[in-house]
Amino acid sequence: MFEKTLSDLIQGLRANKRNEAEYIQRSLEEIQREVQQSDMRCKSAAVDKLNYLHMLGYDMNWASFNVVEVMASPRFGEKRTGYLAAAQSFNQETDVLMLVTNLIRKDLAAPSAMEVGLALDGLAQTATAELAADLFDDVLAVLGHPRACVRKKAVVCLYRLVQRHPEGLPALVPQLKERLDDPDPSVVSAAVGVVCELARTDPRSYLPLAPKLYHLLTTLTNNWILIKIVNLFAALAPIEPRLARKLHGPLSRLVTTTSAMSLLYECIHTAVVGDVIGVPLPVPDAIGRETDFAELCAQKLEVFYQSRDHNLRYVGLVTLARLQARRPDLVAGQYATVLACLDDPDLSIRMRAIEVVAAMTTRKTLVGTVNHIVAQLARSSTVALHPAGPAALMAAGSAPAAAEGDLPQTDAHGTSLVSAQGAIAAPKRDCADPADSPEYRLAAVEAIAGMCSRESYGNMVDFEWYVATLADLVYVAGVDVDRLLSERLLDVTVRVRQVRRFSVAVARRLLADARLAGRAAADGANAATLATAAYILGEYCPLLPAEPDDATLLLLPPGLASLSDDQQAVFVQAAAKAYTNWLRDVAGDWSADAWEAVRSVTASIQRTLAQIFFPDGAAGTSGDAVARLAAGLPLQAGCRLRQLAEIIKTVSVATSNLGDAAPPVCAELHALFTMYELNPVSAAAQGKVPVPEGLDLDAPIGDPIPDTSHKVLPPPPPPPPPAAAAQLHQRGSRHDRGSGDRAAHRARENDPFYLGGAAHGAARELPDVDDIPVMALDLGDKPRSSGGGGGGSKKAKKAKKKHRRDRPRTPSPPPPAVDIAGDEDVPEAPPA
């Protein structure tokens, strides 16, 4: 009798702002009682209230059955409440949906058009596969309803049904075609909308409808439907080239005549996307002159992206990006305009503009554009590590939200929404600088990387500037682009020989920055970049004068242990390279001082390693101890650490006494790492290496050895094919493995205790494995360097690589005086 209505509930909510949750809880308890009552009026009011609370985030699935009861009410108002609640809250798992089949069927056949519409609306929203299959034919029958307001809802409802019940599609398509001829424009519009959706997932099947749509395009005047049809042709035109020619007439006519910006825009967009602008037919303009359609579109598009209206500017840039891809010549003149959009305060516009700018950049404009963007990023207040961080304004996003509560006291009691359109009712918070937004920063860094390396550095003039820019981005990016930057840094250093010296200097600087190292150790930020810098320093350190600090300080930093296994391995490996490089350097100028230096640096590395990896001090500092404990480390790092420990041990032994000349080992150790040079390898190369006849890669190598008391270990399992990107870092491991395999092989051959099929297994398997590269890299017509005799395989490989490096690699003209290495690849295997 005294149940609350929806209005009471809302009033109550507004009166109880302080203890809203409690009030809602009380109301929910009331509702729970009310939905159980037999009085339909009460039940329906309760469902209405529940639906309101659902909007505020309260679950109402528990009342599904009551919702169905209300749906079955004979009174339209209550039925409508029920259908609305069902549409808002039911999901595919709602079990009571099994009960509604007949209810909806009955409503679909109701005499009142409104009731049918209600059922169609509700069904479209709640249909499960089962409901869709059961009621599909009923809805199909409703398509012939005398009232247009029912037919249009039936059309869109059928679209939702075939999504759950694809078997109905063949029956729907002819009916849809018929509806395209409907006398009522709304029904045609709805049918076009459905065709549009269907064609988007499967354009080919709806090409037969193109003539019909084309007819509509040329006869209708309703802009809404025209926009829809033009939009639909944007999906169809790319798969049917003949359509472009057909569309040329109507689209160019619309472009020259329409005054509706939205239709004009859609026409230009479709003309560009569907390549209608590529049709070589002239277009007569307003005063009878003939122009090229592409130029006309470009000209009309200017109105959009140069508009003061931000919405037009935004969509103009969207289409400009597409036009850029098709006709760069028409867009090239707009460089300044687009660049200006990069400084727009509107994030959406900037995001579009940066896409266009990245594609437009040429050799002349590259440096200016990139510097512009980097400066933008650097100015932002979000940069944590900027060298001279300006005390910029706080980002507005962090301003505290306005006072809690529902509406301001002076709320919109009398303000008409329509007349107040665009008016700012409440004072706005300061607008955030779009350059602070992580999305923009990410897009900006990606755009820089993209435009600099496009067409294998085709636009690049100054590589040192590029490397310096990448290093700057490490600081100012402000978003997680660690991996991207490290990849780019490595790529340019490996491919462009001339920039390596500079890259080594940059790598030293990056590694020497304690702030970066600190961040990498703390949360992994910049860790990949630092690992790449370590690799570059290790690999190319002979290009600069050797520094003993490289190995001890830069490449074995205190935070190393907190990096990932792979990164640790890269650092340790690089330290070994830098150390041996320095040794070779001092060995060339041997003296008592040099001897002292070698002793102290070697001891210092030993100490550093022990501190990093075995901080509890139990290890001692002898090389043996390090090697023993390295076994407890993750695989990669442990492996490299053992290798470095071995080198240190050798050097310690060799330099235990001061001799007249440097021990030969000092000068020669570095050659371990420079046996031959590494070049970028195509990602597909590994897959192209043909498997020699008779080799089964899946077969285990050798029989398992049950008794581990033998000194000889079973041969290592075949390695997984290395990912191309990781190959550079794996050089050491491949060498090691190669020599290890051979050593094991020899040891096994000589071992009198080795029984298990030794002759058989070793003779069959191991030489084959060694032979793979040699047999695979058949250069065909290329002259092969004859690496004479047994140890020749490595030499042959090296000679081959040198040979490949001299080949022209890239079709695009490289900048003068800079040689950009392309990917190495394996030629296609000759057909067997």
Partner 1 sequence: MIKAVLIFNQLGKPRLIKFYEQIGTAAQQEILREIHSLVAKRPDTQCNFLEGTRSIGGAGARIVYRHYATLYFVFVADQSESDLGMLDLIQLFVEALDRSFENVCELDLIFHFDEIHHILSEVVSAGMVIETSLAEIGSAVDEAKRLAKPDSDHSRLGLHSLRRGFVQ
| Closer Cβ to partner 1, 198 or 330, answer by number | 198
Q: Can you tell me the distance from the alpha carbon of 443 to that of 321, in angstroms, rounded to the nearest whole number?
A: 15
Query: Hey, which residues does 283 pair with through a beta bridge?
Result: 291
Task: Tell me: does residue 412 bind partner 1 (CB under 8 A).
Answer: yes
Exactly one of 193, 548, 680, 732 binds partner 1 (CB under 8 A); that residue is: 193
Exactly one of 2, 259, 287, 720 binds partner 1 (CB under 8 A); that residue is: 2
Exactly one of 111, 146, 183, 414 binds partner 1 (CB under 8 A); that residue is: 414
| Closer Cβ to partner 1, 336 or 417, answer by number | 417
Two structure tokens written together for 536: 């570059």
| Closer Cβ to partner 1, 96 or 318, answer by number | 318
Exactly one of 173, 261, 665, 724 binds partner 1 (CB under 8 A); that residue is: 261
Shortest CB 266 distance to partner 1, Å = 5
Give the number of other Cβ atoms within 10 Å of residue 280's Cβ: 9
Q: Can you tell me the distance from the alpha carbon of 516 to that of 488, in angstroms, rounded to the nearest whole number?
A: 18
| Closer Cβ to partner 1, 366 or 432, answer by number | 432
Q: Can you tell me the distance from the alpha carbon of 603 to that of 599, in angstroms, rounded to the nearest whole number?
A: 6
- DSSP letters, 346-359, are -HHHHHHHHHHHHH
The mark string for 206-245 relative to partner 1 (x by CB under 8 A, - otherwise) is ------------------x--xx--xx--x----------
Q: Can you tell me the distance from the alpha carbon of 538 to that of 767, in angstroms, rounded to the nearest whole number?
A: 32
Exactly one of 27, 64, 66, 189 binds partner 1 (CB under 8 A); that residue is: 189
Task: Tell me: does residue 159 bind partner 1 (CB under 8 A).
Answer: yes
- Given a contact cutoff of 8 angstroms between Cβ atoms, the answer to whether 535 and 589 are in contact is no
Q: Can you tell me the distance from the alpha carbon of 171 to that of 190, in angstroms, rounded to the nearest whole number?
A: 18
CA distances for 376 relative to 306, 312, 427, 482, angstroms: 22, 25, 28, 19
CA distances for 304 relative to 317, 360, 601, angstroms: 8, 18, 67
| Closer Cβ to partner 1, 1 or 817, answer by number | 1
Q: Count of alpha carbons within 13 Å of 804, Cβ hemisphere only?
A: 22
Exactly one of 262, 371, 682, 686 binds partner 1 (CB under 8 A); that residue is: 262
Residue indicated by tokens 């050593």: 743
Shortest CB 419 distance to partner 1, Å = 8
Ranges within 708-767 binding partner 1 (CB under 8 A): none
Ranges within 302-321 binding partner 1 (CB under 8 A): 310-315, 318
Shortest CB 264 distance to partner 1, Å = 9
Exactly one of 328, 333, 405, 757 binds partner 1 (CB under 8 A); that residue is: 405
Size of the site for partner 1 (CB under 8 A): 107
Q: Can you tell me the distance from the alpha carbon of 797 to that of 739, in angstroms, rounded to the nearest whole number?
A: 16
Exactly one of 19, 112, 205, 257 binds partner 1 (CB under 8 A); that residue is: 112
Main-chain phi, psi angles of 282, to 5 degrees:
-80, 155
Shortest CB 58 distance to partner 1, Å = 7
Exactly one of 186, 337, 611, 652 binds partner 1 (CB under 8 A); that residue is: 186
| Closer Cβ to partner 1, 266 or 482, answer by number | 266
| Closer Cβ to partner 1, 65 or 76, answer by number | 76
Exactly one of 423, 592, 661, 817 binds partner 1 (CB under 8 A); that residue is: 423
Q: Can you tell me the distance from the alpha carbon of 180 to that of 650, in angstroms, rounded to the nearest whole number?
A: 86
Stretch binding partner 1 (CB under 8 A), from 53-61, 203-211, 386-394, 540-548? 53-61
| Closer Cβ to partner 1, 428 or 711, answer by number | 428
Give the start-end residues of each E strand in 596-714.
none
| DSSP 8-state symbol, 384 | S
Dihedral angle, C-alpha 395, 401, 407, 408, nearest 10 °: -80
| DSSP 8-state symbol, 284 | E
Shortest CB 67 distance to partner 1, Å = 14
Exactly one of 136, 214, 265, 440 binds partner 1 (CB under 8 A); that residue is: 265
Two structure tokens written together for 449: 């990387």
Ranges within 767-806 binding partner 1 (CB under 8 A): none
Shortest CB 153 distance to partner 1, Å = 5
Two structure tokens written together for 436: 């602070």
| Closer Cβ to partner 1, 353 or 520, answer by number | 353
The mark string for 5-44 relative to partner 1 (x by CB under 8 A, - otherwise) is xxxx-xx-----------------------------x---
Q: Name residues whose C-beta falls within 8 Å of residue 653's C-beta, 6 or more positions apart in sequence.
A: none
- Given a contact cutoff of 8 angstroms between Cβ atoms, the answer to whether 487 and 470 are in contact is no
Task: Tell me: does residue 58 bind partner 1 (CB under 8 A).
Answer: yes
The mark string for 61-90 relative to partner 1 (x by CB under 8 A, - otherwise) is --------------xxxx-xx--x---xxx
- Given a contact cutoff of 8 angstroms between Cβ atoms, the answer to whether 714 and 705 are in contact is yes
Query: Hey, which residues does 291 pair with through a beta bridge?
Result: 283
- Given a contact cutoff of 8 angstroms between Cβ atoms, the answer to whether 161 and 132 are in contact is yes
Exactly one of 20, 130, 134, 197 binds partner 1 (CB under 8 A); that residue is: 197
| Closer Cβ to partner 1, 295 or 411, answer by number | 411
In three-state secondary structure terms, 496 is: strand
The mark string for 321-360 relative to partner 1 (x by CB under 8 A, - otherwise) is ------------------------xxxxx-x---------
Going by C-alpha positions, the residue among 604, 592, 606, 706 that lies closest to residue 646 is 606
Shortest CB 265 distance to partner 1, Å = 6
Stretch binding partner 1 (CB under 8 A), from 412-420, 446-454, 593-601, 705-713? 412-420
- DSSP letters, 165-220, are -GGGHHHHHHHHHHHTT-SSHHHHHHHHHHHHHHHHH-GGGGGGGHHHHHHHHHH-
